Chain A
Amino acid sequence: MQEPTFLILTALAAEPLHGYGVIQSVAELSGGDVKLRAGTLYGALDRLAEQALIEVDREEAVDGRLRRYYKLTDSGAGALSAEVDRLRRNASAAEKQLRRRPLLGGAA
């Protein structure tokens, strides 16, 4: 799972969000590292909806403009959960390897 996909699913895990809400949430979750553009966001949302990982929750008309809210499906929650487990395992393995790393340098 690519990082933007992971972050979009994460953003939708807690509550349904509309497009701009997802962009803001992803920026916040990534500490400002990932700034989604609209083209990337809607490409990902379309693909995730095709895979039934997310679905449309509701629509709102705001000042004559359409806001569509998306939410995580049970299948999406399962996929996100599996990815979290995978990342946790990898992070744990990386930590162990780093602890085994011999200390270098010192003697001049």
Chain B
Amino acid sequence: MTALERRYRVLLLAYPGRYRRRHGREIVTTLMEMAGDGQTRPGAADAWHLFLSGLRQRFRLPARRPLVWVAAALITLIGGAFGAAAGSWVAGQTYPDLPGDATVTALTRQAAGGGDDFGMTRSSSPWFTDTASGVLNVPAWDPAAAQGRLAAGGWHVGAIQDLAGAAYRDGVDRVELHGSGFDATRDGLLMHVAGYVTAEHGTVSTALWPADTGALRPLMFAGAAIGLILGWLIAAAGAYRLRGRPAGRRRAATALSALAIVCLAAPAFAFYINVMRVLHASGPIVNTVHSALNASPYWSYSTPRMLALLTVAGGAFAVAAWAVLGRRGPAEPPGRVTAAG
């Protein structure tokens, strides 16, 4: 094998494997016949053109197969959604962990400056990052003094804002409340402190979640772009693998692919809704895409783990469909081989 032929074979790696197995040898023959005498390497323009032709081939779908185009579009959209979720998850790894229960207790007491009847909750949302919150009953509260205590503890405190709220006396009578609050940040955590004190009753609450690091949007977009491309490439590769398979395997692979698409459509739809929530977020809380898989019902009629289970089921159907298709595409096309030259 000459150096030129070897270089052409390297460039052919841009083509999908099934295409190389089908046409690789004859393409090299043609390229060698087109090459000038004494040529040892492909021209830059020819090399670039061959590389781009190979990439284009990877994105091609079989002709005259409208259902394949529909399936490819759906798989691409699903790929984009899961890519956005993956990017969001990677961004989530840059966020600090929420503090433990003892720290939340201590921070709430520090913000309240006393009080009793402490309570805390941790919530896992399908729309945004996990939060931890604490609450204390207090007879009186001075937000400026709370700012001072937290600033002494290393927190960077924001301006005090008036807050409006409401409580229900005996669970029935609505009582308008006026309070105040501020945000404080430290070590990548954001803590919202709010206090509502009336003549009868007073509470101070804290809510903690990771502060936005600015990593989410770029990683979400990058993940979506990669997912869209991978989705299309998988669909194209699968469509060509489907050709030439026995009818039974084709039917099985098609049915499994359809089941995979049906299962993955719901989490993908939820991911896209979360992408829109990220893009239109206005408050300090950090919306994420991958949180749709949290153990929390995404829709009122869904169960807490419905989307996670659908994702697992859809992934299993997709893997099974790929396994049914088999590893390699059709072999060389039939032709009478003769020796010449």
Q: A19-B27, A40-B53, A42-B27 are in contact. Are A58 and B338 (CB under 8 A)?
A: yes
A68→B335 contact, CB < 8 A: yes
Whole-angstrom distance from the CB of B289 to the nearest CB of chain A? 37
Residues on A with beta carbons closer than 8 Å to the beta carbon of B62:
50
A68→B56 contact, CB < 8 A: no
- B33 adjacent to chain A (CB < 8 Å): yes
B64→A23 contact, CB < 8 A: no
B56→A43 contact, CB < 8 A: yes
Among B23, B32, B334, which residue has its beta carbon within 8 angstroms of that of A42?
A: B23
Whole-angstrom distance from the CB of A43 to the nearest CB of chain B? 6
Is the interface on chain B under 10, 10 to 19, 20 to 34, or 35 or more residues? 20 to 34
B63→A68 contact, CB < 8 A: no
A38→B50 contact, CB < 8 A: yes
B337→A39 contact, CB < 8 A: no
Residues on B with beta carbons closer than 8 Å to the beta carbon of A60:
337-341
A20→B64 contact, CB < 8 A: no
What sequence of 0s and 1s flags, for each residue 28-58 of chain A, a beta carbon within 8 Å of any chain B beta carbon?
0000000001111111011101110000111
- A98 adjacent to chain B (CB < 8 Å): no
What sequence of 0s and 1s flags, for each residue 320-341 of chain B, a beta carbon within 8 Å of any chain A beta carbon?
0000000000000111111111
Whole-angstrom distance from the CB of A52 to the nearest CB of chain B? 10
Bound-complex Cα distance A56 to B23 (A): 12
Among A19, A40, A41, A61, which residue has its beta carbon within 8 angstroms of that of B338?
A: A61
Task: Tell me the nearest residue of chain B to A41, going by C-beta.
Answer: B30
Q: A58-B336, A59-B337, A60-B338 are in contact. Are A65 and B57 (CB under 8 A)?
A: no
- B54 adjacent to chain A (CB < 8 Å): yes
- A95 adjacent to chain B (CB < 8 Å): no
A56→B335 contact, CB < 8 A: yes
A37→B340 contact, CB < 8 A: no
B339→A68 contact, CB < 8 A: no
Most buried by A among B26, B52, B341: B26
11 A/B residue pairs, CB under 8 Å, sorted by A: A19-B30, A20-B33, A23-B30, A43-B57, A47-B60, A57-B335, A59-B336, A60-B341, A61-B338, A61-B340, A66-B29
